[in-house]
Amino acid sequence: MMTDTTNVKTPERAVRVRASGGAKRRRNIAPYIFIAPNLIVFTAFIFIPILGSFYVSLNEWSVIGARTFVGLDNYKSLLTDDIFWEASRNTGIYALGTVPTTMGFGLLVALGLNRAMPGRTLLRAIYFVPVSISLVAVGLISLWILSDDYGAVNNLLQSLGLPTVQWLSSTTWAMPSLIAVTIWIRLGFNMVIYLAALQGIPDELAQAAKVDGASGWQLFRYVTWPMLAPTSFLLVVLNVIFSLHVFDLIFVMTDGGPGFSTTVLVQYIYREAFQSGDMGSASAVGVVLYVVLMAFTLFYWRISKQSQKAS
């Protein structure tokens, strides 16, 4: 019996060793096969286009004309291009106007909704639902509500005996109106992330602070806010990226106007490429925006690492 089993076992083990040798080879190429489909689409539609836009930015090229290599000329002419500077300034104003406000309101609502209250689930859904609506639909709704003559906001002001405002057709109010609409659609996103972070803070911390006699504000200032720091860091990055990406909303609501008062960089790129047909200059703006975003993220990432080390 004993010999029988060993005899049977030996060939079996040999088979297993051989099989695992083949399996190992398969395991070595398997990950490449798994990432292949994604790597192909990334390469074709993102990596090559990024390199392509670097290359195109070094050329003088209109859609109808021939392509000529001009070196850094497109970048030099950007320096003296007033609209480029106005678009950069508008992009900065939009980011400064939306990032702190959406985060601040998002945090306030999250702090409020983090306590037991009637209708909590419904309230959370109401604050969050604008996040899921297409920006084209948001743009149309906002155009109607903010329209000069028959919009709900001006009608309301009028019936209260207050002066009406040209929300979207004056250079003064167009940008603040866009910022207000952005707060409407982005608040819920910030709220949800803060709410999840708040639920991750152990109750014991708050109880210990209360035992030590901390007031509500002190509890927030010295316990809650520091615990939320990683979340706040992340939200700054996500919101800045969003604010530099925003296109659909502005395209539908003001198309960059009146004048160039709401033209941001992505708008300007679209205009140069698909309306003026100046591919070289459009790509140069794209490269600048790309470099700025990369620099911001790296810089911010280093700061956040340092401050996390320090605390």
Partner 1 sequence: MTLARGDVANAASARQRKVTRSRIPRGKNLIIWIALVCGAAVMVFPLYWMFATAVGPSSELFDGDFNLFPSSIVWSNFGDAWGLLPWGTYYVNSMIIAVVGVIFTVFVNLLSGYAFAKFRFFGRDVIFILMISTLMVPIQVIQVPAFMVVSELGMVNSIWGVILPRGAEAFGIFLVRQFMVSIPDELMASARLDGAGEFRIFWSIVLPLCKPVIGVLVIFTFMWRWNDFAWPLVVLQEQSSFTVPLGLNLAKGMYYTDWTALMSMTLLSIIPMLIVFVIFQRAFVQGIASTGMK
Of 119-148, which residues contact partner 1 (CB under 8 A)?
119-121, 123-137, 140-145, 147
> DSSP 3-state assignment of 59?
strand
CB of 3 to partner 1, least distance (A): 26
Looking at residues 190 to 229 of the shown chain, list those that interact with partner 1 (rule: CB under 8 A): 192-193, 195-197, 199-200
Q: Which are the contacts of 87, defined by CB distance < 8 A and separation ≥ 6?
A: 260, 263, 264, 265, 267, 268, 285
Instruction: Give CA separation, 161 vs 144, 151, 155, 156, in Å.
Output: 21, 15, 10, 9
For residue 68, give the H/E element and its range: strand 67-69
Under the criterion CB under 8 A, does residue 6 sit at the interface with partner 1? no
Q: Which of residues 44-63 bind partner 1 (CB under 8 A)?
A: 44-50, 52-53, 56
Q: Which is nearer to partner 1, 179 or 289 (CB)?
A: 289
Residue 159 in contact with partner 1, rule: CB under 8 A:
yes
Closer by beta carbon to partner 1, 189 or else 261: 189
Give the nearest distance from C-beta 127 to partner 1 in angstroms.
6
What is the per-residue burial (b if ≥16 Cβ within 10 Å, else e) of 189-211?
Answer: bbbbbbbebbeeeeeeeeeebee
Kindly tell me which of 165 and 279 has the beta carbon lying closer to partner 1. 279
Q: Extract the tokens encoding 40.
A: 């192909």
Q: Which one of residues 10, 14, 21, 42 is an interface residue with partner 1 (CB under 8 A)?
A: 42
Judged by CB under 8 A, the chain residues 251 through 280 that form the site for partner 1 are 251-252, 266, 269-270, 273-274, 279
Task: Output 2 or 46, the one with its CB closest to partner 1.
Answer: 46
Gap between the Cα atoms of 170 and 162, Å rounded: 18
Q: Which stretch binds partner 1 (CB under 8 A): 3-11, 23-31, 66-74, 92-100?
A: 23-31
23 binds partner 1 (CB under 8 A): yes
| Contact yes or no for 289/245 (Cβ under 8 A) | no
- What would the two tokens of residue 198 be? 């708040």
